[in-house]
């Protein structure tokens, strides 16, 4: 039986250290996964985190907002205080924490801050000390909402997102020859970086190629950017691949 993504080449734009799982799923479905990282993640120097780590030592709750937050955060934290309640935004972040030995983790049904904020455990937080582990310059929604509920909120910003230095000429040539059937992005920042790397001559290629994003907010940003066909999929790598299979296996054959 023909595999569902046979004959399709999918551009994978995840950071290099996070692309393997998605590449494997695409290839398992018969597709060709072309990795071109359009986002890079680098650690913040641990010497800049002394104050944040002090807050963490006295915190009642800690929230990890992404797998990167779990990976880079635990690298500097080492061991969490035994009495702290641990929250993760989504199962991917919980799995990343489990890899560091943190298993008693509270996660929402959804995979974003909005879903986390409806958890019963985060309603009555007046007077609670909360540390949010995230990248530099993330969304303020979580901290603002918990602060409005009376929590004392601090950040541990342990990594930063940057645009990689990459030569997009080979990718642009392949794309112009019809060699890219779909694009996957996991953030609006990744999309903007990809457009910048592709340059003006590459923007029409990006705009005319179906783009798959694992969250409606990312999809909405892609539509505003001018992408003609944007598909919001279920969350995570499996959700992206399910969206690709559904798209190419129905009316878009």
Indicate the fold that domain 42-161 takes in CATH: Rossmann fold (3.40.50)
Q: What is the pTM of this model?
A: 0.85
Q: In what order do the strands lie in the sheet with 40-43?
A: 40-43, 152-162, 129-135, 61-64, 85-88, 105-106
| CATH number assigned to the domain covering 9-39+164-249 | 3.40.50.10090
Domain 9-39+164-249 and domain 42-161 have a common topology: yes
Q: What is the pLDDT of residues 175-199, one digit of tens each?
A: 999 999 999 999 999 999 999 999 9
Query: If you search the block for the tokens 């054959």, which residue do you land on?
Result: 253
Domain ranges of the chain: 9-39+164-249, 42-161
131 and 154 Cβ atoms separated by less than 8 Å: yes
| Each residue's pLDDT tens digit, 130-181 | 999 999 987 899 999 999 999 999 999 999 999 999 999 999 999 999 999 9
How far apart are alpha carbons 213 and 218 in whole angstroms? 6
> CA of 91: how far to CAs of 57, 85, 112, 231, 236, in Å?
25, 16, 11, 22, 9
């Amino acid at each position: 039986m023909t595999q569902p993504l046979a004959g399709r080449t999918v551009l994978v734009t995840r950071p290099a250290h996070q692309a393997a799982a998605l590449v494997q799923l695409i290839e398992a479905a018969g597709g060709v996964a072309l990795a071109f990282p359009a986002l890079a993640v680098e650690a913040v120097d641990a010497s800049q985190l002394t104050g944040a780590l002090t807050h963490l030592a006295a915190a009642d709750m800690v929230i990890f907002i992404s797998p990167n937050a779990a990976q880079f955060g635990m690298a500097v934290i080492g061991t969490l205080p035994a009495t702290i309640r641990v929250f993760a935004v989504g199962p991917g972040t919980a799995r990343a924490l489990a890899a560091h030995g943190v298993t008693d983790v509270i996660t929402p049904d959804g995979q974003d801050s909005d879903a986390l904020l409806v958890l019963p455990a985060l309603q009555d937080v007046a007077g609670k000390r909360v540390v949010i582990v995230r990248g530099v310059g993330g969304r303020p929604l979580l901290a603002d909402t918990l602060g409005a509920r009376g929590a004392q909120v601090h950040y541990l910003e342990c990594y930063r997102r940057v645009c990689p230095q990459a030569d997009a000429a080979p990718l642009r040539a392949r794309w112009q020859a019809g060699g890219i059937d779909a694009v996957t992005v996991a953030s609006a920042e990744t999309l903007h970086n990809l457009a910048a790397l592709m340059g003006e001559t590459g923007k029409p290629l990006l705009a005319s190629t179906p783009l798959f994003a694992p969250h409606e907010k990312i999809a909405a940003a892609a539509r505003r950017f001018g992408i003609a066909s944007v598909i919001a999929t279920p969350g995570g790598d499996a959700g992206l691949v399910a969206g690709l299979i559904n798209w190419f296996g129905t009316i878009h054959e």
